Amino acid sequence: MDQKRLAGVGNIYANEALWRAGIDPSREARSLSAEELAVLRRELQTVLTASIAARGTSFRDYRDARGERGSFVEQLAAYGRAGEPCLRCGRRLVGTHAVDGRSTVFCAGCQY
Ligand SMILES: [Zn+2]
């Protein structure tokens, strides 16, 4: 979750990319292998591309310039789903603020 390495990546997208990559958000960036970094980079691109295609992640009353809601929130697998079952392994997702003070949601069953 270190934003110095994932420069400018929103918290929502970092949560999603880490879940998709199967990487524990509490890990230090320097502990990741080259392969893990490559997977994380690829998943981040996938998440950002999907979000743009869905006009972003609207919560509450946000609308884009054409007055339409973004629908990416419907595709979120981790962020905002604390306590709900992991879509990959079925274990209850954990929500914490212990990683860097912001809301982090992850699966203790399949992110390591
Ligand atoms: Zn899981």
pTM of the model: 0.82
User: pLDDT tens, 27-69?
Assistant: 998 999 999 999 999 999 999 999 888 877 666 555 667 777 7
Domain assignment present for 72: yes
Q: What is the CATH number of the domain that holds 44?
A: 1.10.8.50
H or E segment and range at residue 105:
strand 104-106
Domain assignment present for 6: no
Residue 97 clears pLDDT 80, i.e. is over it: yes
Pairing relation of β-strands 94-96 and 104-106?
Answer: antiparallel
Half-sphere exposure in the Cβ direction for 56 (13 Å, CA): 13
Domain assignment present for 38: yes
The answer for residues whose C-beta is within 8 angstroms of residue 13's C-beta and 6 or more apart is 44, 47, 48, 51
Q: How remote is the CA of residue 78 from the centroid of ligand 1, in Å?
A: 10
Domain assignment present for 26: yes
A 10 A CB-CB count for 91 gives 12
Domain assignment present for 3: no
- Determine the structural domain holding residue 92 and report its residue range: 11-106
Q: How remote is the CA of residue 24 from the centroid of ligand 1, in Å?
A: 11
Domain assignment present for 111: no
Structural domains in the chain (count): 1
Q: How remote is the CA of residue 9 from the centroid of ligand 1, in Å?
A: 22
> Which of the pair, 21 or 4, is modelled with greater confidence?
21
Q: What letter does residue 70 receive in the DSSP assignment?
A: P
Domain assignment present for 82: yes
Q: How remote is the CA of residue 101 from the centroid of ligand 1, in Å?
A: 22
Domain assignment present for 5: no
